Structure 1
Amino acid sequence: MNYPFFAYMARLKYIARWGLMRSTIPENDAEHTLQTAMIAHALALIRQDIFHEWADPEHCAMLALYHDASEVFTGDLPTPVKYFTPGLHEKYEEIENKAREKLLATLPEELQESYASYLVTLEHDPLWPLA
């Protein structure tokens, strides 16, 4: 049995991010993912502990941790490109969704349901905006 999920996830460090701002320091998807997860966790804690609104900080961190996981197959497409041509963003979302499903299938069947909440059901998660 071959389950290459974590080998694919390890590729994040090789995917260069396309920064919106000019930066002298390049960033890869693994670095971006870590920073995003820490920020999502902090935002959820602020929502929960300061504003006393429902949040699940650990779940938010996990959503953020896997938010760009599909890029192990698709690479990082610059956001301005996604929105430049009408309809392109929606088509690219379809591609990302297929990549997420492909990635999910690289896990043992017993783990797929647990990981699905971080990989393929993102838009339906009420905490997704925090991630």
Structure 2
Amino acid sequence: MTDTPDTKESGSLISSVLLHLSRLIRKEFELAKAEMSEKVNRAAFAIGLLVIGAILLLSALNVLAGAAVAGLVELGLTPGWAALSVAGVVLLIAAVLGARGISILKTTRFAPTETVETISNDFATLKESIHDQ
């Protein structure tokens, strides 16, 4: 069987398609890597907020609690009620910081969704172009 111009043209076309597909897949993996890096950085930032909030809370807790309890005792509360009131306020602040950090983490998706969608579209386009041949 001899190579006809159509056979050579088809072989060249397939070779070209495979070359472009190889380049496309390589670019998509680079995109996925960049997207994952961005998502990990966002999660690291959120965790950093949680850690900083916890450190600040713990650092200021002794001073804040002592001063607040002393102030409330001066206003006439018994030491027990003064300490309980201060603890409630401190817990409220901790809850707000924790909720903010958790909400940031919940909105961070680690799957490279944009890359997956692009690859899916690329394969659909490639499939259509192969069927058109």
Q: TM-score scaled by structure 2?
A: 0.29
Larger radius of gyration: 2
Tell me: higher relative CO, structure 1 or 2? Use CA pairs within 8 A at least 6 residues apart: 2
Q: TM-score scaled by structure 1?
A: 0.30
